[in-house]
Structure formats: C-alpha cells, structure tokens
Structure 1
Amino acid sequence: MNLIFQSKIKIFKLPHTSLFNKNKLITIFLGTILILIISLILAYLRSFFPFVTNTNTEGINGRIDANILSVISPLLLAPIIEEFIFRKWVPNVFQEILGRKKTIVLSNIIFTILHLDLYFLPYLANGLIYSLYYEKTRDLKVPIIMHISYNVTVFLATFS
C-alpha cells in the first residue's frame, strides 16, 4: 500500500529533468551575466569607432508599435531558431570536414554576419559564449535560455 501511495505522489513533483537541474539554472544565470558584462564593455568600446552602426535592438524598438509579433519574434523565436542552427546543426554538419573547434568558429562567424551590423564584436562574443555553454552542458536549452534572457534584458534596458 505504501509503494502505491509513494508512486502517486511522484506524479505531482517537478520532473528531475535537465531544465530543472539547479546546476544548469545557475549555469544559465552566470552565463547570461557574463554575456551582459561583455556586451556592456563592447558597447563602451563601440563609442570609439568613427562609423555609425545600425543595431538589431534599435530596429526592434523602432517597430514596437507595428505589432506584437515584431517584438516576440526577435526576443523569443529567433533565439530558439538561431541556437538550433548555429550551436547544433552547423557544427554537426561541418564537424567532420573542419573539426569541432573550427566548425564552432565558422558557425559563429556566420551567426555574426547574419546580424548585419558593422560592429560585429558583441555578436561574435555572444555566439562564442553560447557555444561554450552548449559544449559544456550538451544541452541546447542552456544557450537558448541564455540568448532569450539576453535579448529580453537588452530590449527592456533600451526600450523608451
């Protein structure tokens, strides 16, 4: 009787999956903080460049009145798609040709170029950090949640 009761209780507990793992949540939090700190440093360095750049954030903030999809897409959908493509798919496709490290660098260069910003350093740094955390955890949810957290934080900090 006691075994039946215990098994029914387990149904109501949070599953002990990798998403609910305390260590992964701490990893995601610390990774996001790292990305924010590096982005702040690179934003400061940007002021020393003589050219004007167009950032994704300005474009998102400029379109906020258009519709909610123009906000949800870059904040939530794009990170999921980008992380799948640039942390998982591209490295796996080209790994045998270039090796894992070169493939990760190539994937992040493509990630950076597709953001269409002359000041590419934040995208390259962020992509490399997302890759590092993916390689460390082998869990795609980690860079996805970091990427979403970063995008939402930047959006909230720059929305006027």
Structure 2
Amino acid sequence: MPNNFSIKKISLVTILLYGLVFFSPFLFKPFSPAIIIAGTTFTYILGAGLMIWLYIKNRGSAITVVEKEAKLTSLVFTLLLGISGIFIAMIIQAIVFSIETAITGVEPSSQNTQNIIAVILANPLFILATTIGGPIMEEFVFRRSLIGLTETYTGFWISAIISSSLFSVIHQDGHFFVYFFMGFFFALLYKMTGRIWTSIIAHCGMNTMVVIAQLVLHYANIELPK
C-alpha cells in the first residue's frame, strides 16, 4: 500500500475492515463452537494487527485534526493518561450504572459482559479477542477513523458524540449511556495526547480488569445480581 493515503481513505478502509471482522463469526457457523471461538479470536487479532499496520505505514500522510492540534503529545503523557484512564473509565462505568439503578430500580448488569465471560469460560483463548483485539479495533474505528472523518465538518465535540453513540449501539447491551460515556472518555484521552495509543491502553486495560474481576467472582462462586 502506498504511503500517501489520506486520513479519509485510511479511515474508510479501517471501518470496512472492522465490518468484515465484526461479521466474521457467521463464516464459522457451520462448524463446532470451539472452531467458532478460535476462528473469531483469530480474526479479531488479525483485524487489530492490520489496523496497526495501516496506521504505522501511513502515519506520515494520514493525520487527523486531533493529532495535529494535540498539546500533550509526549510518551510520558500517553502512558500516564493511558494507565490512569483504566481506572477512571471503570469509575465512570460504576457511576453511570449507579445513576441508571437509581432511576430504574434495576440492579446493574451487563449482558454483553456476561456473554463474553461465558465464552471465555468455554474457551480461554477468547480472552485475547476481548482484551486485545476488540479494544484495539474499536479505538481505531470509533475514535481515530470516525472522528477523523467527521471532525472537519462538525468539530471535535459533535464528532465525539457521534462516535460515542455508535460505539454504544454496536455493543447491543441495553446500557446506552454506560458505553456512551466510556466512549466519550476514550475520545477525550485521544484528544488530549493526539495519540490513539492512549485510549488503546485505557480501553485494553479496562477490559482486562473487568474480565479478571468477573473470572475471580465466578471461580469464588460469588453470585452477581441478574
């Protein structure tokens, strides 16, 4: 691939690639559950790897407005904000869940998370898809690509709202505002440093912490609210 691809072209290719990976489990449906999980894990990791390759190969020409205007661009800020973002994102999730509970009276529970944990328990290999492949792809798509495509026309804040809304909808979890505010927070991390790695660190770290916590609760036989 040439090194002079614009951010628009790279963003469109990234989104198309994500769509192919997202629907890839349907290709494995005729096979056993073990093959479906292994195949899905492979496509998630492959998709993430291809997005990283596209980003690195074209980073000289495919630059977003966020990346041009960022102030905290040093590696130190990327690491500090990325790592601290893991815990801040978890706090945001807990706060929004608490608000939902106060309004609806329904105990917080993520069906999406429970489904993922069930798959991981059946095949631990899938943890690579949920803690590495999935978060990396989502950051390249919902933060870098969608914001990169729309920010020129709408400004950052509207772009962040659009991308965070789509990020929430794609999870199909029924907790729109939980995923919306997490997505918006990841967008802020990206904006502050101009490095997609910042939000990737926070997102991968958060998913890893959630998976570990859920597995600990499972093996400790602690029943969570349904």
Shorter-chain TM-score: which interval? 0.7 to 0.9
Q: Which residue of 1 aligns with 2:95?
A: 41
Output the aligned Cα RMSD. 2.3
**2:161 corresponding residue in structure 1:** 105
Alignment match, 1:117: 173
How far did 1:68 drift?
3.2
| Kept in 1: contact 2:147–2:156 (CA 8 A) | yes
2:202 counterpart residue number:
146
Verify the 8 A CA contact 1:80 1:144 in the aligned structure 2: yes
* Alignment match, 1:30: 84
Give the deviation of 1:148 after TM superposition: 0.5
Sort the Cα spacing of 1:19 and 1:150 in 2 relative to 1 into closer, same or farther, 3 A: farther
**1:1-160 correspondence runs (5 A):** 21-48=75-102, 49=104, 54-159=110-215, 160=218
- CA-to-partner distance for each residue in 1:72-131, whole Å, 9 max, x for gaps? 112110110000001111111122332322111101100010010111222111101100
Could you say what secondary structure the match of 2:120 adopts? Answer: coil
SS in structure 1 of the partner of residue 139 of structure 2? helix
Secondary structure at 1:117 match in 2: coil
Counterpart secondary structure, 1:47: helix
- Spell out, residue by residue over 1:15-43, the C-alpha distance to the aligned partner (whole angstroms, 9 max, x if none): xxx99933332212222221111112223
* Conservation of the 8 A alpha-carbon contact between 1:104 and 1:131: yes
Matching residue's letter, 2:159 = T
Cα deviation for residue 51 of structure 1 reads 6.0
Q: Which runs of 5+ in 1 are unaligned?
A: 1-17
Q: Distance in 1 between matches of 2:207 and 2:74?
A: 22
CA distance in structure 2 between the partners assigned to 1:19 and 1:136 by the alignment: 8
Task: Give the distance between the partners of 2:196 and 2:73, measured in 1 at CA.
Answer: 10
**Aligned AA (1:149):** G
Counterpart-to-counterpart distance in 2, 1:135 and 1:20: 13
Determine if contact 1:111/1:123 at 8 Å carries over to the other structure.
Answer: yes
Work out whether residues 19 and 25 of structure 1, in 8 Å CA contact, stay in contact via their aligned partners in 2: no
Alignment TM-score, normalising by the size of structure 2: 0.57
Rounded to whole Å, the distance in 2 between the matches of 1:77 and 1:23 is 23
Rounded Cα–Cα distance in structure 1 between residues aligned with 2:114 and 2:196: 28
TM-score (norm 1): 0.79
Distance verdict in 2 for CA 1:78–1:110, change over 3 Å: same
Instruction: Provide the aligned length of Structure 1 versus Structure 2.
Output: 143
Quickly say closer, same or farther: Cα 1:21–1:98, change in 2 above 3 A: closer
Paired with 1:137 and 1:124, the residues of 2 have a C-alpha distance of: 21
Unaligned runs of 5+ in 2: 1-71, 219-226
